[in-house]
Structure 1
Amino acid sequence: MKNKQVINPLKAQLWLIGLMFFFSQACAYSLRYNLVKASRTIDGDTIKLNNLGKVRYLCINTPEIHHSQKPPEPYGEQAWIKNIQLLVSEWVVLEFDLSRRDRYGRLLALVYSSSGLVNAQLLKNGYATLMVIPPNQSCQACFIPLEKNARDQHLGIWK
């Protein structure tokens, strides 16, 4: 009887690890990574790097805060602040999809910090909407449920 109590939590942990591995493989994006130093958070979905210019987050869009003749969009400043909070360290890992730059010359990437995948965190917490622009579509399947959950829970911009 005592052995059964020890085995059940062990089985549960092994099952959970296997499940996490399965989902990480199902949502694998690419194998192109760069470790870089972020110098500034521009808005909710864009950062500036020390030597590589600007990085626009893949698969999401946050409300704008830098309009030349318009006030910031609703929740734009909250998205920007959340982005700053998620980039707790200056070092980030960039993961690229098929197209590395947009028409404005910005790098397009999934951005990982010590708090996890920043793109997904912004979407999950309702600070961003899903925005998939071909050919960069590898994150779409994993990001759709994140946006749906934020919308269903009335988080952030979905209030």
Structure 2
Amino acid sequence: MITCTVTRVVDGDTLHVDIAGADETVRLIGVDTPETRHPLRGIEPFGREAEKYTRSQLEGRHVLLETDVQNRDEYSRLLCYVWLEDPIKINDASIRAKMFNARLLLDGYAQLLTVPPNVKYVDYFRKYQAEARENERGLWGLGPAAAVHVIACHRDGSLDNRNWP
């Protein structure tokens, strides 16, 4: 794991970190928060809330970054799981309590976004999203028009999606 400091939050699932004096952009693995800065989609429902939540939890904080199979995406962003504390033992309880990606799903600020081969925690993430949805947490409490269902993720990173009824 890489120790760093979060210097700036771009949106709910993208941030800047300082790693030994170098600025890096990090994209969180396995989650997709509603957009706040997308040139075509603009501000999506619950986007500002997700960005504010990420900022309140991470900005200025020391965190640990964990990568998966691919270290970077096509935009050269680091692809990471963000740990708020050293998990020591990785299990459901530690992931729920200490991994920020999981917190976004559990609290309803993000939807699951699976982009193989980065799927180390996908089974946990599916369960966390289902829990948030069942309990109408965050964006799941906004009604069906707010959610987007991803049909496919292409090799170039583009998504096919539609409004979820």
TM bin (shorter chain)? 0.7 to 0.9
Q: Does 66-75 or 132-141 show the bigger shift?
A: 66-75
Q: Name the counterpart of 2:4.
A: 36
Partner in structure 1 of residue 120 of structure 2: 138
Preserved CA contact (<8 Å) 1:88 1:113:
no
* Residue of 81, 94, 105 corresponding to 1:110: 81
Structure 1 segments, 4+ long, off by >6 Å, are: none
Give the equivalent residue in structure 2 for 1:148.
130
Query: Separation in 1 of the partners of 2:74 and 2:61?
Result: 26
Q: Percent identity?
A: 34
More off after superposition, 54-63 vs 107-116: 107-116
Give CA-to-partner distance per residue, 1:71-117, whole Å, 9 cap, x none.
31110000011111221652110011110001111000000125721
Bigger CA radius of gyration: 1
More strand by share: 2
Distance 2:57 2:125 in 1: 18
- Give the superposition deviation at 1:132: 1.0
Q: Decide whether aligned partners of structure 1 residues 69 and 118 sit closer, same or farther in structure 2, where only a CA change above 3 A counts.
A: same
CA distance in structure 1 between the partners assigned to 2:23 and 2:66 by the alignment: 14
Checking the alignment, whether the CA contact within 8 Å between 1:54 and 1:106 is kept in structure 2 is yes
Q: Is this contact kept in 2: 1:62–1:127, CA < 8 A? A: yes
Gap regions ≥5 residues in structure 2: 86-96, 142-165
Give the superposition deviation at 1:70.
4.7
Q: Taking structure 1 as reference, are residues 89 and 52 closer, same or farther at Cα in structure 2, changes over 3 Å only? A: closer
Q: Which has the higher helix share?
A: 1
Match of 2:55 among 84, 103, 120: 84
- Give unmatched runs, 5+ long, in structure 1: 1-32
Question: TM-score, normalization: structure 1?
Answer: 0.75
2:14 corresponds to which residue? 46
Contact 2:7 2:17 in 1 (8 A): yes
**How far off is 1:69 after superposition?**
5.5
Ranked by relative contact order (alpha carbons within 8 Å, sequence separation 6 or more), the top structure is 1
